[in-house]
Structure formats: C-alpha cells, structure tokens
Amino acid sequence: MALAGGDGPGQAAYINVFEPSSLIVTEGDSVQWRVTSGEPHTVLFLNNQPPPKEINLDTLENPIGGLNPSYDGTKQIYSGFIVPDPKTNYTVKFTKAGNYPFICLIHPGMDGSVTVLSPGLFVPTQAQIDADGKKVQAAGEAAVRRMIAAAPTAATRSASGWIVPASPYLPVPGGFVAQNVFTPARLSIGAGDTVTWMGDIPQAHTVTFTGGGPPAGDPTQPTKAKSYTGGFASSGLLGKAPGVGPELFTGGTSFSLTFPNPGTYTYICILHIDQGMAGVVEVGAPGTGGAAPSPAAPGGALAGGAPIVVRPPATGDGGLAGSTAAAWPLALAVAFAGIATLGVMRARARI
C-alpha cells in the first residue's frame, strides 16, 4: 500500500507527490494506491507511449483496465480518480519482473515507479514503505511552508493593467506542492482596467465568473469575451507543463478581462471551490486602481495605495499569515450559490 499525495499545512495546500514514489516488490505482489488528502490523484502506466486517446476531460475520472488489474508491462492501465473513498482505491498485481514508471495524469510532474523483482530477492516491508512515505510527507510539509512564505501577496501593475500571479506552486522531487488559492484573493481596480490572471504552473485552475448562480456555460472551456460586465465568463483550465497541451490546459497560461463598470465581482476556481478557492475584483471609479475597497473588506488597506490583499481564512498549522476571516464568508456565500449544480461538472474537470 502506498499513498498518492498528501495534505500540506495551511489552507488548501497539497503535497502532490507519491508517498513514496519508488516501490520495490516481488513478482506476484499487488500494490494498492490510496488517497487520504482532499486532492484527487491518478496512477497511469504509460508503457512508453502517449496517454490513451480515450482519456479526455469527459472520461478523466474513469479507470481503464478496471480498478484491480494485473500488469505485465505490455499495455496501458489507468486508475481514474483516486479519492478518499476506499471504493476508488487502485490495486495492481505485478506479474512480471521489470521496472514500470507511472505518472499522475492530472498533476504533471507527479510520478513514480514500481520495480518488480524475481521471487527470493529482498524487497522492503510494508513498514519500510510506510516509513519512506512519511519522509516524503514531512519533506512536502516543509516545502509547503517555504512556498507559503514566498507566495505573492499582491497583484502587480503593468502597462496592460493588473496581473494576478499564478497560485503558489513549488516543484519538489517526485512532483510538486501547491496551494489552491488566488493571490491576492481580493483586488481593487479602477473602471476600465484590465486584470490578467496568470496560470503558468502545472497545477490547473480556472478563473470562473458565474454572476452568482450556476455557470451558464462549460467553465472548463475558455469564453471569448474580453470585457466583463456580469454573468458567465471563464478562463478554461489554465496551466503549463512540458508535453501537456490544450487537451488538458484548455485555457492556456493566462486569462484577461477588462472591467468597464464599477461593482464587485466574485469569481471561483471551478476545480477547487470546495477548498475555498475564490476571489473578488472590486471595481471603483476610473483611475482608482489600488485604492482601498469597501471598509468591510477583509485584510485591510495596505500602506502606499497598494492593492488590498486578502486570502481565504487560514486553518491549522502553517496557515497564511495576515489572512482575516471577517468578511470572507460574504464572498464565499456568493460563490457557493450555484455550487450545488456543479458537482458533476467539477468532478469531471477536477484536476
């Protein structure tokens, strides 16, 4: 048994690494992968070929070859989504000696290998595997703390408007750690300003405006309008990783919208809204970008006319410094308004 990924310390922080990533077993042994963290994972044995053509955004969560396959290295097998439900555990019986690399399809860079030895050769015990896994988890937790400490806390201003940097991300051996929050989660701009959300990391996210209800379109596909005055708009799946194209990252690496009208506009990440991944663009009079938003806004104004910086409420050890829960539930209440209808959509797109 090995864990696929783990929770990190802090709000919506995840260790997207197999724990452990390298396994050594005996011919005839079975390996079971489980997920206990809030982020789903997959196990895909590519057998030195591109991912199977039958996997797309609609079929991503379904296994190929069943949940209990035998594997001799001659075909491709895929777990589908492994989540904390034991019914999704993935158990593979290895019938032939060899070295078999695998990846998590939905977390580019998260990979591992199973080395299958002939009977009679030494292989680690489950206790040793567990100990290795705990070391990976501990290293991941340390990496999460480093990542959060270095995370951006403000949007930057450029000639084209405001730039919201990609969510916190840090590569580690065997994968990456990530925090699924918008940084900053609240941005104050002037009417007519353009906001660009960056998504140039392997962890996919969306920037999805619903206008308060369920999305009036498919949030996993980018909408074309450049200007936002209300209703539905979405970035599609933003992300960037070697060898991964628009079949997964439908929205490319950034998403821009111009806001011509003053108002308060809430948006969510359709993949991670259950983790609280939401943001607010507060649009004031033209030229007021960077001014303080409403007094009730959490986080408070920063000195020097810098944009308001707000993050979701921190929970537990290693939470985000400076976050204030006070007014956050308002934004979340808006964002969650249409969530009940999103289950299927999110499950299918959940990466």
Amino acid type, 45: F
- Those residues with Cβ within 8 angstroms of residue 77's Cβ, 6 or more apart along the chain or in another chain: 44, 45, 63, 64, 65, 69, 71, 92
For Cu ion, the closer of residues 27 and 200 by Cβ is 200
For residue 182, the minimal CB distance to Cu ion (Å) is 8
Site string for Cu ion, 178-217 (x = CB under 5 A): --x------------------------x------------
For residue 168, the minimal CB distance to Cu ion (Å) is 11
Q: Tell me how crowded residue 246 is: count the other CB atoms within 10 A of its CB.
A: 11
For Cu ion, the closer of residues 186 and 205 by Cβ is 205
Residues β-bridged to residue 195? 162, 257
Applying CB under 5 A, among 155, 233, 257, 271 the residue interacting with Cu ion is 271
Phi, psi values for residue 275, rounded to 5°? -95, 5
Q: Report H helices in the chain.
A: 126-150, 328-336, 343-349
Cis peptide bond upstream of 215, omega within 30: no
For residue 288, the minimal CB distance to Cu ion (Å) is 29
Per CB under 5 A, 277 contacts Cu ion: yes
Query: Alpha-carbon distance 242 to 311, whole Å?
Result: 30
Per CB under 5 A, 269 contacts Cu ion: yes
Query: Alpha-carbon distance 14 to 168, whole Å?
Result: 11
Per CB under 5 A, 272 contacts Cu ion: yes
Touching Cu ion, residues 87-146 (CB under 5 A):
none
For Cu ion, the closer of residues 180 and 250 by Cβ is 180
For Cu ion, the closer of residues 237 and 283 by Cβ is 237
Residues in contact with Cu ion by the rule CB under 5 A: 180, 205, 269, 271-272, 277
